Structure 1
Amino acid sequence: MTVREGSKNWKNIVSVALATAAVISFSSGMPAIADLNKFEAETPGEFGIGSAAQFGSADLRKAVHVNENFRRANFTSADMRESDFSGSTFNGAYLEKAVAYKANFAGADLSDTLMDRMVLNEANLKDAVLVRSVLTRSDLGGALIEGADFSDAVLDLTQKQALCKYASGTNPTTGVSTRSSLGCGNSRRNAYGSPSSPLLSAPPQKLLNRDGFCDQETGLCDVK
């Protein structure tokens, strides 16, 4: 047998083995995929790739899912109006553009979630953990936020100011006060909106100093 013939036979053997493995995997219900989903559901990490469950655009109106695990699940554009998700875990989940009018998230873990452009009017967020969540362009008008923890969450300045008008309580899980987590009354921390809003993410620069003079090169004045 020549070297070329031996190489050809070896390639044929490998091809047959791979084809056999694929048939076995398919006939047994593809356990590899099931294992992957299970692995994804248990893997830690912020905004990880993949999701444990898919609820994108789902009709979840008045659904009851108390104390359930929706970690890293996808709820993009889902209708969650008047649903009850109290005590559930949404860590790292995707809820952008979801409608959760009057939904109950009391005591829920919403940390590291993507919640931009979400409707949360009159939602119950009492004692919820929203640490590092992204809430840009979301509407929380009339939401109950007593005891909610918004530490390092990304909110628009106008929304943050509206919440600070009535924020109260301390989160029972993290021990952080709601007002402190929002930066209410703090002229430095979280006082100018979010990084996603460049015009609001930094203090406005002074154009004139107290004597009416600015730096001739930059046109700006030294802020002291």
Structure 2
Amino acid sequence: MALARTQRSAVRPATSRRSVRVQALLTPGQLRAAACATVATSLLAVAGPSLADLNTFEYDAGGEFGIGSAVQYGEADLKGRDFSGQDLRRSNFTSADCRNASFKGSNLQGAYFIKSVAYRTDFEDANLSDVLMDRATMVEANLKNAVMQRAVFTRSDLKDAVIEGADFTNALLDKPQIMALCKYADGVNPVTGVSTRKSLGCGGQRRYKASSPSNPDGPQVQEDEKEAFRATLPTYRK
């Protein structure tokens, strides 16, 4: 009998009286949280090498979504910066201050300018197709000859923007903004051959409806443009 008591004492966990008292004071929820924290710490210790390999892979892929042209400028101070002639597809300029910056002739297809400040920013001859410029400030921005097909300008301010030769085909703009731009819209885009007034739907409700993205009979994306967009997608596996 004495030997059995000794064996039971040997296999009993070594728990101090103080830890037992602390556990008795904790609620079941607190005990579960403490257990989860312990498990998470253990998993992080095991996953360390795997996370390092993943980070190396993402670095080698280059840029966001594996696109080397994608750069991050979210909330950055870019006043007066020169980005002219650069490949900036899918780059992030969300909430960035781009006042008086130059993107002249740059490829910004699929970039993000949500809530950005683009006061007097130069986008002349730039490719702004599929750009998200929701709630952006584009007062007096230079959009001369820019291609802005399928771009989103909802709740954006384009007051006194230069739009001569700009192509807004299938772009989303608030109707009051379209009416304001149609008062002085003019020119033909040198790349697409589309007149600015036609791309905005100026001149009547029928034309406005025909150019809306939800209308299957309106202007459609060309196959060569689709192929060019697919070519920018990353290839992780073959």
Q: TM-score, normalised by structure 1?
A: 0.68
Equivalent of 1:77 in 81, 89, 95 = 95
Q: Deviations over 1:34-65 (max 9, x none)?
A: 2333583549xxxxxxx821110000001111
Residue 191 of structure 1: how far off its partner (Å): 5.2
Match of 2:65 in 1: 40
Query: SS of the counterpart of 1:190?
Result: helix
Per the alignment, do residues 22 and 180 of structure 1 end up closer, same or farther by CA in structure 2, a change over 3 Å counting?
same
Q: Any residues of structure 2 matched to 1:65-144 within 5 Å, and which?
A: 65-144=83-162
Query: SS of the counterpart of 1:188?
Result: helix
**Which stretches of structure 1, 4 residues or more, deviate above 2 A after TM superposition?**
18-26, 35-43, 189-196
Q: Any residues of structure 2 matched to 1:208-223 within 5 Å, and which?
A: none
Give the aligned CA root-mean-square deviation in angstroms.
2.9
Per the alignment, do residues 21 and 132 of structure 1 end up closer, same or farther by CA in structure 2, a change over 3 Å counting?
same
Query: SS of the counterpart of 1:33?
Result: helix
- What letter matches 1:59 in structure 2? D
- What letter matches 2:138 in structure 1? L
Q: Residues of 1 paired with 2:91 and 2:51: CA distance?
A: 30
Query: SS of the counterpart of 1:34?
Result: helix
Q: Residues of 1 paired with 2:154 and 2:211: CA distance?
A: 10
Q: Residues of 1 paired with 2:189 and 2:210: CA distance?
A: 24
> 2:58, 2:66 within 8 Å by CA — same for their partners in 1?
no
Equivalent of 2:205 in 162, 177, 187 = 187
Residue 124 of structure 1: how far off its partner (Å): 0.3
Query: SS of the counterpart of 1:162?
Result: helix
2:192 is the counterpart of 1:174? yes
**Structure 2: gaps (5+ residues):** 1-45, 215-238
Residue 70 of structure 1: how far off its partner (Å): 1.1
> 2:146, 2:189 within 8 Å by CA — same for their partners in 1?
yes
> 2:145, 2:164 within 8 Å by CA — same for their partners in 1?
yes
Q: Residues of 1 paired with 2:64 and 2:156: CA distance?
A: 31
**Structure 1: gaps (5+ residues):** 1-17, 44-50, 197-224
Greater alpha carbon shift after TM alignment, 185-194 vs 138-147:
185-194
Q: Residues of 1 paired with 2:121 and 2:64: CA distance?
A: 30
Percent identity of paired positions between Structure 1 and Structure 2: 51
- What letter matches 1:163 in structure 2? L
- What letter matches 1:181 in structure 2? S
- What letter matches 2:197 in structure 1? R
2:145 is the counterpart of 1:145? no
Residue 146 of structure 1: how far off its partner (Å): 0.2
Match of 1:161 in 2: 179
